[in-house]
Amino acid sequence: MDARVSLGRVAGLRFGAHWSVLAVFVLIAAGLAQGRLPVAHSGHTAWVYWGVGLATAVLFLASLLAHEVGHAVVARRNGVPVDGITLWLLDGARLRGEGPSPGVELRIAGAGPLVSLFLGALFGALAGLFALFDAAGLLVEAVAWLAGINVLLALFNALPAAPLDGGRLLRAAVWRRSGDPLRATVLATAVGRVMGWLLAGSGLYLLFLGASFSGILLAVVGWFLIATATAGGGRAGMGEFLSGVSVRDVMTPIPPTVPAGASVRDFLGGCAGHDPHEAVLVVGDDGRPIGLITAQRAARAVSGEEHTTKLGSVVVPLRDLPTATPDCPLVRLLPRLDASPVRRVVVLSADGAPAGIVTSSDVSRLTTWLSSTSPWPRSAGSWQSRKKEVPAGYAEEGEGDEGAPGGMTG
């Protein structure tokens, strides 16, 4: 199930929110409306407190979005593509890989906390200005809270633990000093796990003392740190394991296609006996891909409607899918593959024509084969000398490789 809720576009990027941020939004609004605001300024009706609380929570999410836009803008200016922004408890900007150098990584990681510090100073100045002109106490309280939370957000994110911004800063520093990005990643993720356990333990201790809200929040943040740092460490190990492997080496070439003008009825008829989760590339009249479709998505999209609907109107559009070139290093593709709504990456040639598809199963089959062979060479040159040993047809076995349903090739 997709945990993201799409919210629109900002700075040319699609953005949405993870359920964790929506939960934090509710907690903040309720905490302000039923706690801080009535205690600091009594005498108002409940709907006034809730109105100010909700507006403050919205501005907090806007501040969080600005933090992530800072990362995304700096990343794009330094040549690192960005797939979009998904606000969640610990991260947001979805970068297509990492910075090509420690300096770029440092600039990308530092942009978010700097934006939060700027917003903290801005809200602080506004709170002082409102107080100077004797504005409503609730307004001053809300703006002062926003100043404090933005400064706290910057400081928290500066902690040297992956996946926080401070973890990326630590990684950049170790990378610059050692010249080894893998070693830097391993260290940053290890510190992230330690920090996560400390936060989770502190949260449980506060919960034991009766501080329910603070204890639960710290424990949840600690758990997220542990989980994401562990996943980051796993990706670092996989990066070493797949060093030198390109997308071309693992993709399913000449993927099955179906024309966008075909009807859903014909498509579903041709899918009989096929895996309903198998994705097929949908192409326009010019042969260029416009998206992916599965039988399950097609059937769900036209539920209760005429199945004469054209496939082009129900596809997962290409703009929402990660894409790559055949010569792209496979390790740079793995995070984007995990984030793909259909767990697939569309491979395009230099002229935009479809060249292949990479699925999670393709990567799993390659890693399984490599794990079963010994010794495993870890350099790009070693892989080039050994890739001819990969069993013929290994990429044609399994998920997504049965051909276009019903022979509906475009």
Residue 209 has pLDDT above 70, yes or no: yes
Name the domain boundary from 127, 158, 189: 158
DSSP state at residue 329: B
**134 belongs to a structural domain:** yes
CB neighbours of 351 closer than 8 A, spacing ≥ 6?
Answer: none
352: in domain: yes
pLDDT of residue 256: 77
| 177-205 per-position pLDDT tens digit | 888 777 787 788 888 889 889 988 998 98
Both 153 and 256 in one domain: the answer is no
Are 257 and 138 part of one and the same domain? no
Q: 302 in a domain, yes or no?
A: yes
Please identify which of the residues 68, 98, 278, 399 carries the catalytic annotation.
68
**109-123, 224-238, 254-268: range with lowest mean pLDDT:** 224-238
pLDDT value of position 117: 95
Residue 379 has pLDDT above 70, yes or no: no
**pLDDT for the residue 58:** 92
Considering the domain boundaries, does residue 200 fall inside one?
no
Is 364 part of a structural domain of the chain? yes
Residues 260-291 have pLDDT tens digits of 888 888 887 776 555 656 778 888 888 888 88
The mean pLDDT value for 226-248 works out to 71
What band does 387 get if pLDDT is binned at 50, 70 and 90? low
**Together in a domain, 386 and 252:** yes
pLDDT at 91 over 70: no
Last residue of a domain, which of 142, 158, 174?
Answer: 158
Q: Are residues 151 and 266 in the same domain?
A: no
Verify that 125 and 14 share a domain, yes or no.
yes
Burial per residue of 230-239, b for 16 or more beta-carbon CB atoms within 10 angstroms, e otherwise:
bebbeebeeb
Q: Is 396 in the same domain as 264?
A: yes
| Percent of the chain's residues with pLDDT above 70 | 77
Percentage above 90 pLDDT, the chain:
10
Same domain (yes/no): 134, 257: no
Based on the domain organization, do 143 and 33 belong to the same domain?
Answer: yes
Identify the top-confidence range among 53-62, 89-98, 316-325, 332-341: 53-62
pTM of structure: 0.64
Residue 371 in any domain: the answer is: yes
Domain span at 378: 247-407
CATH number at residue 376: 3.10.580.10
Q: Are residues 149 and 282 in the same domain?
A: no
pLDDT for res 377: 44
Does residue 235 lie in a domain region?
A: no
Quickly state the pLDDT bin for 233 (edges 50, 70, 90). low
Q: Are residues 150 and 282 in the same domain?
A: no
Question: Which of 158, 187, 217 is at the close of a domain?
Answer: 158
Is residue 223 a part of any domain in this protein? no
Side chain identity at 252, as an amino acid letter? Answer: T
Q: Are residues 9 and 116 in the same domain?
A: yes
282 and 144 both lie in a single domain: no
Question: What is the total count of domains within the chain?
Answer: 2
Is 68 annotated as catalytic? yes
